[in-house]
Chain A
Amino acid sequence: MMRRYCLVVLLCLGTHAVAYAQTEESGARAMALGGAVSAMAGTGSTMGNPASFSQAEQRTVSLFTSQAFGLSELRLATFDAILPTGFGHLALGGRTFGFEDYRENRFTAGYSRALSFGTRRAFHVGLTLDYFTLSIPTYGSASAVGIGFGWMTEAIDNVQVGAQARNLNGPSFTDEVGLERSLSVGLAYTASEQVLLLLDAYKEARFPLSVRGGIEFSPLEPIALRTGFTTEPVQYSAGLGVRLAALHADVAGSFHEDLGWSPALALSVLW
């Protein structure tokens, strides 16, 4: 009981160590890559760069779950669906985090498309609208709406650049509890068909700048090995991805020096 009470207090304070950074919530693949996904195509998640939806070639439905530091109270589950249409890509997502004494939910609608601005190249932009709710039975509940924006493009051959900002409008649950605003800028370098290198600078308004990096290596077509790191807080991560026709499965683990391991699992269907 005491542990749960402490967790409620810590979560209310927005203590960083017990919650993930936003980009790490965009799937097990993202988590294994240190969350350095601002410039990575195909995260398939509404928590990633909104501009990444429009790079999805197929309809995608993903489920993702993780348990921060193995604590059941910090269990996270998300659902995402991306639908390519003739006028851009639509995305819908949901997220739930916490336990009965502290529950955060998010519902997201996103829209993304490629623009060419008078060229033949693609400049992907995306917009998300997030509806957040927070409920703490002993205090009550609150909700807020946040706006997110991102872009992504291939700057030179094999080098993709991207940036995203969440909660641009500065939403808050109450006068004191503002939702975290963030800005991240990243690079993705496709070194070969088998190797992808990622680097991100990620800043949340109230926390120090975090530098993130990740490497994805595909020795064989259906298998991807991944590793990543983050600073502030220092975490190392690793993961494995398997593609079997329309089904993609990813597992990841991230290690925090003091708090230990966080396991994650994701399943996606593409058709």
Chain B
Amino acid sequence: MRWLLAVLLLALPARHTHGQVTDTLAVENEVEDLLEGVEDELADPEELADLLASLRDNPLDINTASADDFAAIPLISPLLAQRIVVYRTAQGRFQSIPEVQLVEGLDGDLFVALRPYLRIGDVLAPERQRASLFPQAPPMRQVLRDLRYDLIQRYTRRLTLGRGYDDDTTRTTYLGSPERLYTRFRISSRRYFSFNLTLDKDPGEAYAWNPSQQQFGYDFASAHLMVGNRGRLKTLIVGDYVVTAGQGLTLWRGTGFGKGAATTTPMVRRGRGPTPYGSSDENRFFRGAAASVYVTPALVASAFASRRQLDASFAATRIDSTASELVFSSFNETGLHRTRTEVSRRDALEETLVGGQVEYQGKALTIGTVGYQSRFADRIQPSSQAFQRFGFSGDAASALGVYGQYYFPTALLFGEVSRIRSGATAAVGGAQLDLARTVDLTVLGRSYPRDFAALHSFAFGERNGATQNERGVYVGVRIQPSRDWTIHAYRDQYRFPWARFGTLYPSRGWDALVRVEHRPRRWLLWYAQGRTETREEGRDVEQQGRITESLLEATRQSFRLHGDYQFSRRLRVRARAEWSRYSEMGETSTGVLIYQEARFSPVPALRLDGRLAFFDTEDFDARLYVYEYDLLYTFAVPVFSGRGQRAYVLLRWQPLESLQLEAKYGVTRFEDRETVGSGLDEVEGNVLREARLQLRWRM
């Protein structure tokens, strides 16, 4: 019977080869769902894009990948990842990729979305693999033969420039030119070897050759060399890398997903230890060396060391009887060095970090510990404002955490406890449950004390990644009452036990989302989504002639209708209408957005995307976020406020198997203003235009 099923599954659409431009509808929808939750600056869409890109470039071998490898794909929850491995252990190796659909919970649309991330290794030669307890890398000759070269050159530029680019010697202007230039070169051989070089210059930054400041023409450079999956050696990285561990409470240098339309999966994390870094975010990584080894097949030990220069704001020079020392007030995480002030903060503070991790991966139990110790060359002393009262201060930091997860066939329990140098202890934990085949439930509780000033944490929370001064409970559910209908919902209740930026007092809030999705046909999808968030905000209120700060409730709501129709392989159209409402102190503002877009692919090598959106919001509080297609491996989630239109066209052309060219032109026109933007980016007129070009060559 199983062979029959396997044959039937094989008849399903096969993997898109690189020669085709079209992506599956499902992949982009899933990514969009993940990214539309990213509404704050803490998470970096580019890094998420990079993660997905590297996962797609190196598809997982379904017969050798571990549970944490599977869980690295954002579409696979740790529960499902574990279930795939358990299934494989019990039933034997998969004979074909579609066969993974036999794993409970991995069917239909999810499989289609996952397909580009999976591959199957040499099915006929499993014996060699079985003979060893550790991953067996292929012989060097084959590694060399599998080498792939990948070059991305990106050039993006605003065509309407702000006054920062004027020749004006009387005022501050940008030091460099307005284009953003990004170059990435990578040589890799599956998951066994990779070398990467990323160079990036942001708009307004100047080119400079200053090796002592780690500046080589472009403002930012990152490189790594990685060897991995060779016997006991899991990973060895020299250069730039990130470390992710457990739930991210102790150490998660890298980015993660927050709340969004994917209500049960992204919040449950599963760290992967040290992994190479090749993105363009200038802060979220370590620089040095890292290694992971299998002590036994189930026990992995990692060690890592890093020394890097961080951007920081200089506060004062403190002089006492014996010596003088520099004091910095805060880290600057924008990565921008466009003006003299920004350049003066560049690489101002040195951090030296050493750390280690030990993780046991049993059949049901995974448990691990991770810790690091870090030292700064100079002191950090945040300002005396209330919200920074418990900010990190001093010149040394350390943290130690214990994390674990336990797998039942229908549930996954997970948690992490972490303690930092000052003694503050934080915890996060929860469960992911398959209540029935049609109902998934995720419950997550978190307690991050106000004095948990952890430097390298990035755990789930209301302010995704800000792992301090927050307590909360998250409940998310996904219900599939029938094949065509899916309901996603979550509710998150949280409290900030101390002042936060802009609010003097402890405050609280909650938010919730409900999405009802209907897919009457494989090629037609529509959904209705409502979202509401109520939060206490600090506001100046006049009482008896005196102005005092009080806590007031502010509520932001949105309702969206969205339709997505794949007319044929060549044409897809989508439309959306979304309303927003913001109310505070009895005053309400509203907003609306509608868009219409089409994707047209007359021949497989050519793809054209276009969108026309009209937006109209009464103020910035009623703003709306919209995911937008962009150059391959970049995603954009622009925010719209005011009254105007946005239109873009994106052309992707693949003249050769190895070459892909992309161009995007976007224009935003406002009806309600004579200048757009502020500060150095203020533009005369009501129109913003930008052009983006990308070349990708691989062989």
A contact set with B: CB distance below 8 Å:
116-119, 121, 123, 151, 153, 155-156, 161, 163, 165, 168, 170, 181, 183, 185, 201, 203, 205-206, 208-209
Contacts and interface: CB of A to CB of B under 8 A. Distances in A.
Q: Ordered nearest first, which 9 A-B pairs have the shortest CB separation?
A: A203-B614, A117-B570, A117-B568, A209-B592, A163-B596, A119-B568, A185-B575, A117-B571, A201-B577
Contacts of A119: 567-568
Given A117-B568, A118-B568, A203 B596 contact: no
Given A156-B521, A205-B671, A183 B614 contact: yes
Interface centre among B565, B569, B575, B596 (most CB of A within 10 A): B596
Contacts, number: 70
Interface of B: 520-521, 524, 563, 565, 567-571, 573, 575, 577, 592, 594-596, 598, 612-614, 616, 643-645, 669, 671
B594 A156 contact: no
A65 B588 CA distance: 41
B524 A155 contact: yes
B565 A121 contact: no
Given A123-B571, A156-B524, 7 more contacts: A118-B570, A153-B567, A163-B575, A168-B612, A185-B575, A205-B671, A209-B592
Given A117-B570, A205-B645, A161 B575 contact: yes
B643 A183 contact: no
A228 B565 CA distance: 27
Contacts of B577: 185, 201, 209
Nearest to A206: B671
Contacts of B563: 155, 161
19 contacts: A117-B570, A117-B571, A121-B567, A121-B568, A123-B568, A153-B573, A155-B565, A156-B521, A161-B563, A161-B565, A161-B575, A163-B575, A163-B596, A165-B596, A183-B594, A185-B577, A203-B594, A205-B614, A206-B671
Contacts of B565: 153, 155, 161
Contacts of B644: 205
Contacts of B521: 156
Nearest to A119: B568
Nearest to A168: B612
Contacts of A155: 524, 563, 565
B520 A156 contact: yes
Nearest to A182: B614
Contacts of B596: 163, 165, 183, 185
A118 B569 CA distance: 8
B598 A151 contact: yes
Nearest to A123: B567
Contacts of B575: 161, 163, 185
B616 A209 contact: yes
Contacts of A117: 567-571
B543 to A, nearest CB: 36
Contacts of B614: 183, 203, 205, 209
A161 B598 CA distance: 13
Contacts of B595: 183
A209 to B, nearest CB: 4
Contacts of B643: 205-206
Max chain B C-beta neighbours (<10 A), residue from A121, A165, A201, A208? A201
B669 A208 contact: no
Nearest to B567: A123
A206 B563 CA distance: 25
A203 B645 CA distance: 10
B347 to A, nearest CB: 45
Nearest to B591: A209
Nearest to B615: A203
Contact of B612 (A116, A121, A183): A183
Q: Residue among A119, A121, A183 with the most chain B CB within 10 A?
A: A183
A168 B649 CA distance: 13
Given A161-B575, A181-B645, A208 B592 contact: yes
A155 B644 CA distance: 29
Contacts of A121: 567-568
Nearest to A122: B567
B564 to A, nearest CB: 10
A159 to B, nearest CB: 9
A123 B568 CA distance: 10
Contacts of B520: 156
Nearest to A151: B573
Nearest to A116: B568
Contacts of A185: 575, 577, 594, 596
Contacts of B594: 183, 185, 201, 203, 209
A163 B577 CA distance: 12
Nearest to A115: B571
B649 to A, nearest CB: 12
Contacts of A165: 596, 612
- Residue of B573, B598, B669 most packed against chain A (CB within 10 A): B573
Contacts of A203: 592, 594, 614, 616
B479 to A, nearest CB: 23
A170 B567 CA distance: 29
Interface-central residue, A156, A165, A168, A209, by most chain B CB under 10 Å: A209
Contacts of B613: 183
Nearest to B577: A201
A69 B46 CA distance: 54
A121 B521 CA distance: 15
A149 B655 CA distance: 29
Contacts of A123: 567-568, 571
